[in-house]
Amino acid sequence: MVRNLKLFWAFFSNSLTRDMEFKANFIGMLFVDSVYYGSHFLFFSVIFNYVDSLLEFTKDDVTLFLIITFMMDTVYMLLIAENLGKLNRMIVKGDLDFVLMKPVNSQFFSSFRYVNSYAVVSIIMLSGLLGYANHLMGRAILLQNVLFFGYSFMLGLCIFYSVDFIIASLAFWFRDFSMSGWFSHEIMKFSMRPDTIYSGFLRKTLFTIIPMALVSSVPARIFIYGPDIRYLLLQTIVTICFLIAVRIVWIRGLARYESASS
């Protein structure tokens, strides 16, 4: 664990060095993120022009939900997105060779090698925004809620990672699975809406088999309404199941890895 943390710090420093080489990209990504977040705020603002709430989620709740969703997205961009975005091509082109040759857990290496350091700035801004929005809404910040929120946020991130990782790893079986990025993106969209808008079979699916409702909605619920043991328990069980699935998929995938001819 300590070694992996040290390694992660080395990956981060190395990635920061790379990102600093391209100043325009660094600033440009902050701008793109702002536009992306703004469009989501606008979308829900339009909806709240016609309705007062989305079941128990009021306009204020949805605002907090969106900030938490963006935080999740940004933390994901910071730590994982670039790695899994490349994984499919690495498997197909045989570029996984150098990952597998290193004396480091190959799943850890493939998942965290590239860090999008620009996202640190976005995370700081979004954390400030969450605190400020909460303050404007006159809500008290309870330590207990913050702790449970942190735990739930971490589980949400693990689920987000697991689903994306499993989809990217399908390239081991399907060789050229270039639509994996698009496929992931479409699934991830379910996590960008409050769970209250889903009902029936779709809702059950999003809390279990494709657990996108557990990514942002549950952490947001805990931040807004306080800890709910049912949600936390479900999120914990689903996370464990998915992390085990990821491990199995990776090990079986590696056994099928064909590298590529020179």
Partner 1 sequence: MAIQVNQLTKKFRIFKREAGLQGALRSFLHRQYEDFYALRDINLEIQSGEVLGILGENGAGKTTLIKLLVGLLHPTSGRVLIDGFTPWERKNDFLRNISIVMGQKNQLWWDIPAAESFLLNQKIYGIEDKQFRKTLDELVDLLDISSKLNTQVRRLSLGERMKMEIIAALLHRPKIVLLDEPTIGLDVVSQSKIRDFVKFYNEKRGTTILLTSHYMTDIQALCKRVFVIHKGRALYDGNFDILVNRVNPSKKLTFEFPEHPSAATIQKLENNFALRIEDRFLTAQLPDAELNELLVQLFNLHKPKSFSLEELPVEETMKAFFADPEKFV
Interface residue with partner 1, options 5, 21, 39, 52 (CB under 8 A):
21
Question: Of 9-17, 131-139, 151-159, 197-205, which part binds partner 1 (CB under 8 A)?
Answer: 9-17
SS3 sequence of the chain: CHHHHHHHHHHHHHHHHHHHHCHHHHHHHHHHHHHHHHHHHHHHHHHHCCCCEECCEEHHHHHHHHHHHHHHHHHHHHHHHHHHHHHHHHHHHCCCHHHHCCCCCHHHHHHHCCCCCCHHHHHHHHHHHHHHHHHHCCCCCCHHHHHHHHHHHHHHHHHHHHHHHHHHHCHHHHCCCCCHHHHHHHHHHHHHCCHHHCCHHHHHHHHCCCCHHHCCHHHHHHHHHCCCHHHHHHHHHHHHHHHHHHHHHHHHHHHHCCCCCC
Minimum distance from CB of 11 to partner 1 (Å)? 7
Interface residue with partner 1, options 103, 200, 229, 230 (CB under 8 A):
103
Applying CB under 8 A, the site for partner 1 has a residue count of 26
Residue 29: CB atoms within 10 Å: 19
Interface residue with partner 1, options 4, 10, 53, 244 (CB under 8 A):
10
How many angstroms separate the CA atoms of 73 and 34, rounded?
12
Regarding 3 and contact with partner 1 (CB under 8 A), the answer is: yes
Tokens at 170, concatenated: 């399908």
Regarding 259 and contact with partner 1 (CB under 8 A), the answer is: yes
Question: Of 6-14, 58-66, 158-166, 220-228, which part binds partner 1 (CB under 8 A)?
Answer: 6-14
Minimum distance from CB of 3 to partner 1 (Å)? 8
Q: 53 forms bridges with which residues in the sheet?
A: 58
**Given the complex with partner 1, which of 56 and 258 has the nearer CB atom?**
258
Minimum distance from CB of 109 to partner 1 (Å)? 8
Regarding 135 and contact with partner 1 (CB under 8 A), the answer is: no
Regarding 227 and contact with partner 1 (CB under 8 A), the answer is: no
Interface mask (CB under 8 A) for partner 1, residues 22-51, using x and -?
A: x-----------------------------
Interface mask (CB under 8 A) for partner 1, residues 70-99, using x and -?
A: ------------------------xx-xx-
Which spans of this chain sit near partner 1 (rule: CB under 8 A)? 3, 6-7, 10-11, 14, 17-18, 21-22, 94-95, 97-98, 100-104, 106, 255, 257-259, 261-262
